Amino acid sequence: MNLKTITSIIFLALLSVNTAYSQSPDPDFHIYIAFGQSNMEGFPGIEEQDKGYENDRFQVYASVDFPELERQKGTWYTASPPLCRPNSGLSPADYFGRTLVENLPENIKVGIVSVAVAGSKIELFQKDNFQEYASTAPGWMEGIIKTYDGNPYQYLIDRAKEAQKKGVIKGILLHQGESNTGDEEWPDKVRGIYNNIIKDLNLDASQVPLLAGELVHEDQEGACASMNKIIATLPEVITNSYVISSSGAPARRDHLHFTPEGYRILGTRYAVQMLKLMGYEQEEIKMPENVSVNK
């Protein structure tokens, strides 16, 4: 074997190694799945102080096309709102991510994959039963469901699998329940969805917590505040789950949706919980400049 042949073999071997390395998920890219109904979408309307976020350590995976923002489906972008769909608004996921990157080491990036459907019951995300519920959805909801190829759960899984090529899924964010108010089976339904996500994405449940936010609180005259008692039982059926308080988070006049300030507070609280799970002490956690929140 001559020197030229040996050199070619070494070059091809190194090229193969480099290609494999470049395609491997980055362990320092922490990805979070976000799903639910309108409060996870984010109610339309984004205040000036929330626009133009430029820290590229916080990324959003465009689950759909955002023509006006020149975002293409299947691509990562700096996570300035809206994160879910073009007509959505600020959501808990925004300040969840901003708070994480404010506190995590500079080598860590955070990514969000969001699929949410306004007004939907939790049944829409049940892997095997969603069709029965979707068939009864009102016309305005049908359009959103079609955006997700008629199956929001599978759409979320497919997007998450693409995201896994770039990073590692570290947690799941949920905000849903208004449309299931009074449904005592809701925790078990969520458990089924969580277990399916874990299985379908080949995750370790002990390493991937579920963070579920309360609905607009009774201290804000929440229209569905009674559901928070049911949401509070979620940790009884999902060991690695945590309920995020909405106490004191301002609501809009409909008493169903949070104001931008409410989303900032709630999203920051999601992040505080996640940081605690990572070993951060509460008093060590930094808050974003425009958020005043009791941790």
Task: Report pLDDT digits (tens) over 27-38.
Answer: 999 999 999 999
Range of the domain at 70: 26-284
Query: Is 169 a domain residue?
Result: yes
The phi and psi torsions of 157 (rounded to 5 degrees) equal -60, -45
Contact 83, 94 (CB under 8 A): yes
pLDDT at 18: 46
pTM here is 0.91
Mean pLDDT score, 63-83? 97
Kindly report the average pLDDT of the chain as a whole number: 92
List 28, 245, 254, 255, catalytic entry: 254
- pLDDT-based confidence at 292, cuts 50/70/90? low
Cα–Cα distance measured from residue 73 to residue 89, given in angstroms and rounded to the nearest whole number: 18
Query: Is 4 a domain residue?
Result: no
- Is 90 exceeded by the pLDDT of residue 10? no
Radius of gyration of the chain (CA): 20
The phi and psi torsions of 79 (rounded to 5 degrees) equal -85, 75
113 is written with which tokens?
């994959």
Query: Is 106 a domain residue?
Result: yes
Counted domains in the chain: 1
Task: Report how far Cα 216 is from the mean position of its chain's Cα atoms.
Answer: 19
Mean pLDDT score, 140-163? 97
- pLDDT-based confidence at 295, cuts 50/70/90? very low
CATH code of the domain covering residue 97: 3.40.50.1110
Is residue 94 part of the annotated active site? The answer reads no
- pLDDT-based confidence at 6, cuts 50/70/90? low
pLDDT at 11: 55
73 is written with which tokens?
């489906």
Is residue 175 part of the annotated active site? The answer reads no
Query: Is 49 a domain residue?
Result: yes
Is residue 38 part of the annotated active site? The answer reads yes
